[in-house]
Each structure stands twice: as structure tokens, then as C-alpha cells.
Amino acid sequence: MIGAGAALLVAALAASPAPREPRWAGLDEKIVERVSAEAGHPRWRTLLDDSGDLPLFLFLSAGIAGGFVLGYGYREVLSRRRDEGRRP
């Protein structure tokens, strides 16, 4: 019974539109861009601009790759210690 109620609540929340709030301005937009505009230097447009999900996807991919590398290295360290402990 609780599972059906939870499923109904999730479906209702998923179907409702998200409230539109203005985007929060960060330090780079409020301070750095203002100071650079006063100095006569326009904002640079980079290949990985902060619009869209591409930077988030790249950050996630780097985290997965780093976790795999660290996990594999940790496994190698532990397996060597176990092998060294068994040998007389």
C-alpha cells in the first residue's frame, strides 16, 4: 500500500512542471565580468562554455575514470600484500 502511494506521489511530481526561477549569478558573473568589462577586456568564449550539460557530463566522466583507476590501483596494492604475507 505504501509503495503504491509513493509511486503515485512520484508520478504526480514528475508530471508537474518545475518552477522557473531566475538563474543565480556566481562570483565570475557578478565580480570578475564587471571588473574585466570596466578594464576593457570582453569575456572570452571557450569551447566548453557553461551553457548546457557538456561540462557536467565531462566532470562525471572524469570522476568515473578516476574512480576506476584508483580502485584498480588499490586492488593491486592489496593483492601484492596478501601474496607477500603468504610466502615464507
Contacts of 58 (CB under 8 A, 6+ apart): 48
pLDDT at residue 72, as a whole number: 86
Q: At 23, is the secondary structure helix, strand, or coil?
A: coil
pLDDT tens profile 6-53: 777 777 666 667 666 666 777 767 788 888 888 988 777 776 666 667
**Dist. CA 31–CA 71, nearest whole Å:** 40
**Dist. CA 52–CA 54, nearest whole Å:** 6
Residue with cell 601474496: 83
Amino acid (1-letter code) at residue 56: L
| Domain extent at residue 29 | 2-44+53-86
pLDDT at residue 68, as a whole number: 93
DSSP designation for 56: H
Residue 63 has pLDDT above 80, yes or no: yes
pLDDT at residue 65, as a whole number: 96
Q: At 86, is the secondary structure helix, strand, or coil?
A: helix
Amino acid (1-letter code) at residue 43: R
Domains in the chain, number: 1
